[in-house]
């Protein structure tokens, strides 16, 4: 394989405690050299040079929570389109949830995803298998088969684990494989029929609410089971202040618990439903919460309670999404907006620094999923995300590589975008050609 020199960029790599101007030389898909700019005596022949002056060079971003919809819902997204969206959005790896059709609850679907991703995927794809057969919450899925075929975690995401008993079994059984159980925390007896966060805005709009307590009750029971089993628990898309307080306490008690939050819960509140005049693209589960909740999530990024930011990329076809608010499915796409949103709204104002961001979207997801990624150390996989911190552009859903357009961020002007994406030493998303003089 030809080699690649990434020249003169600011390398930000929390795993090696690096924030410095460096040249990176990639040979055979691995990081081969890191040197002060211009320090290379002789480059291998056929070395491609990627000029990165003024750019930020990070270990490849990992989105540990996406829905690629294949098999079964290819009109919304495919492994090919979803991974192209990931590459364009600055992600070098994604972990995909099992609520496809059929659900990924065994060898055949896991193998299909792995094979299809190798054939047509633009970035690395790590399947997440089911906790339960068919996601029905009744009996455990064939976890051993799925892990041997490449599954990196189990979850029944889209819905909570079927029962406390099943969750206990999953936390016990996954210890054999050293993989986490990822739970979508929701007490459905409290959210049935709900379409948005239960609070002032839902009352004002006359929409059925989903109380924050529905999430917190599920978080509390999961944490009790993690304490009982000493299994590895990861909580998906947490959205309330109370949930984070429970996690904070569990971590201080020494439990092996981690959690993620989404860009949309960090940046939007239930007010967005009203301000957008019931835009179904603001309908998501868990729902956009209160300002108090939002601020608590941001604080959790800063104090380490939150381990990862993941998009919960949930594509839906326009015909499905553009219904009345009550009838539209939950979910929004996120792969092509996450990085500019986080750079513009969190890093630029100094809410978190770049090193913390890179930990949240690269190093920590790699550790949670047990991937040997998330660093630019010598010898590491050359999965690299390059950012242009000064590029100012407007989100335009018509230009998405995703098959779906369901984003509430259309029209937002943001500064700081992905510049180029490198997977295993291959440039999979290119910077625009320089303007001709």
Report, as residue numbers or ranges, the catalytic residues. 312
Beta carbons of 291 and 214 less than 8 angstroms apart: no
The nearest distance, CB 214 to Zn ion, in angstroms, is 13
C-alpha distances out from residue 141 to 105, 145, 155, 339, Å: 5, 9, 10, 34
The nearest distance, CB 157 to Zn ion, in angstroms, is 4
State the burial class of residue 236 (Cβ atoms within 10 Å of its Cβ: 0-12, 13-18, 19+). Answer: buried
State the DSSP code for 174.
Answer: G
Backbone angles phi, psi at 322, to 5 degrees: -90, 60
The nearest distance, CB 257 to Zn ion, in angstroms, is 17
Which is closer to Zn ion, CB of 73 or CB of 84? 73
3-state secondary structure at position 379: coil
- What region, left, alpha or beta, does residue 419 occupy, with left being phi > 0 and alpha being psi -120 to 50 degrees? alpha
Which is closer to Zn ion, CB of 23 or CB of 215? 215
Q: Which of 200, 174, 282, 299 is closest to 243 using CA atoms?
A: 299
Which is closer to Zn ion, CB of 62 or CB of 182? 182
The pairing of beta strand 233-235 with beta strand 181-183: parallel
The pairing of beta strand 91-96 with beta strand 61-66: parallel
Beta carbons of 8 and 53 less than 8 angstroms apart: yes
Which is closer to Zn ion, CB of 157 or CB of 383? 157
Region binding Zn ion by CB under 5 A among candidate stretches 47-55, 149-157, 267-275, 355-363: 149-157
Site for Zn ion in 198-257 (CB under 5 A): none
As a three-state string, the secondary structure of 56-95 is: EEEECEEEEEECCCCCCCCCCCCHHHHHHHHHHCCEEEEE
Which is closer to Zn ion, CB of 7 or CB of 313? 313
Which is closer to Zn ion, CB of 239 or CB of 290? 239
Cα distance between residue 341 and residue 265, in whole Å: 12
What binding mask, one character per residue, do residues 154-183 give for Zn ion by CB under 5 A, x or -? ---x--------------------------
- Element spanning 5, H or E: strand 4-13
The nearest distance, CB 132 to Zn ion, in angstroms, is 15
Site for Zn ion in 309-338 (CB under 5 A): none
* Closest residue to Zn ion using C-beta atoms: 184
The residue whose two tokens read 């230009």 is 399
Beta carbons of 339 and 387 less than 8 angstroms apart: yes
Region binding Zn ion by CB under 5 A among candidate stretches 39-47, 153-161, 197-205, 400-408: 153-161
Q: Which of 373, 386, 390 is closest to 421 using CA atoms?
A: 386
The nearest distance, CB 365 to Zn ion, in angstroms, is 16
The CA-based dihedral angle spanning residues 107, 112, 113, 116, taken in that order and rounded to the nearest 10 degrees: 160
The nearest distance, CB 184 to Zn ion, in angstroms, is 4
Which is closer to Zn ion, CB of 157 or CB of 260? 157
Cα distance between residue 120 and residue 109, in whole Å: 16
The nearest distance, CB 168 to Zn ion, in angstroms, is 20
The nearest distance, CB 332 to Zn ion, in angstroms, is 12
Task: Report if residue 184 touches Zn ion, rule: CB under 5 A.
Answer: yes
Q: What are residue 93's DSSP bridge partners?
A: 62, 124
Which is closer to Zn ion, CB of 157 or CB of 279? 157
For Zn ion, the binding residues (CB under 5 A) are 157, 184
């Amino acid at each position: 394989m030809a080699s690649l020199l990434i020249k003169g960029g600011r390398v930000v790599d929390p795993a090696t405690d690096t924030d410095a101007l460096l040249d990176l030389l990639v040979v055979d898909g691995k990081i081969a050299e890191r040197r002060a700019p211009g320090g290379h005596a002789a480059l291998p022949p056929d070395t491609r040079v990627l000029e990165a002056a003024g750019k930020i060079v990070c270990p490849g971003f990992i989105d540990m929570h996406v829905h690629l919809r294949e098999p079964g819902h290819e009109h919304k997204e495919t492994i090919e389109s979803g991974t192209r969206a990931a590459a364009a959005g600055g992600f070098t790896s994604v972990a995909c949830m099992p609520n496809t059709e059929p659900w990924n609850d065994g060898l055949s679907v896991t193998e299909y995803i792995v094979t299809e991703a190798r054939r047509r995927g633009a970035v690395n794809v790590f399947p997440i298998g089911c906790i339960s057969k068919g996601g029905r919450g009744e009996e455990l899925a064939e976890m051993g088969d799925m892990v041997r075929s490449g599954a990196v975690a189990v979850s029944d995401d889209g819905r909570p684990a079927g029962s406390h008993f099943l969750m206990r079994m999953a936390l016990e059984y996954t210890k054999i494989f050293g993989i986490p159980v990822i739970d979508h925390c929701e007490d459905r007896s409290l959210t049935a029929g709900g379409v948005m966060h239960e609070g002032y805005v839902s009352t004002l709009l006359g929409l059925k609410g989903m109380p924050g307590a529905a999430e917190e009750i599920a978080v509390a029971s999961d944490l009790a089971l993690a304490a009982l089993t000493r299994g590895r628990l990861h909580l998906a898309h947490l959205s309330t202040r109370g949930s984070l307080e429970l996690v904070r306490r569990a971590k201080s008690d020494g439990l092996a618990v981690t959690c993620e939050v989404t860009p949309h819960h960090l940046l939007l509140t239930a007010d967005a439903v009203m301000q957008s005049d019931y835009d179904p693209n603001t309908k998501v589960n868990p729902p956009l919460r209160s300002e108090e909740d939002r601020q608590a999530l941001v604080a959790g990024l800063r104090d380490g309670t939150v381990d990862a930011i993941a998009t919960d990329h949930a594509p839906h076809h326009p015909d499905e999404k553009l219904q009345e608010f009550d009838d539209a499915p939950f979910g929004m796409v996120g792969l092509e907006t996450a990085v500019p949103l986080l750079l513009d709204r969190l890093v630029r104002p100094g809410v978190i620094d770049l090193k913390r961001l890179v930990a949240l979207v690269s190093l920590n997801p790699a550790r949670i999923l047990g991937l040997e990624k998330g660093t630019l150390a010598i010898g590491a996989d050359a999965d690299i995300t390059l950012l242009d911190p000064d590029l100012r552009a407007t989100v335009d859903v018509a230009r998405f590589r995703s098959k779906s357009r369901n984003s509430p961020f259309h029209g937002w002007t943001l500064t700081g975008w992905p510049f180029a994406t490198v997977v295993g030493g291959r440039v999979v998303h290119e910077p625009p050609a320089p303007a001709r003089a």
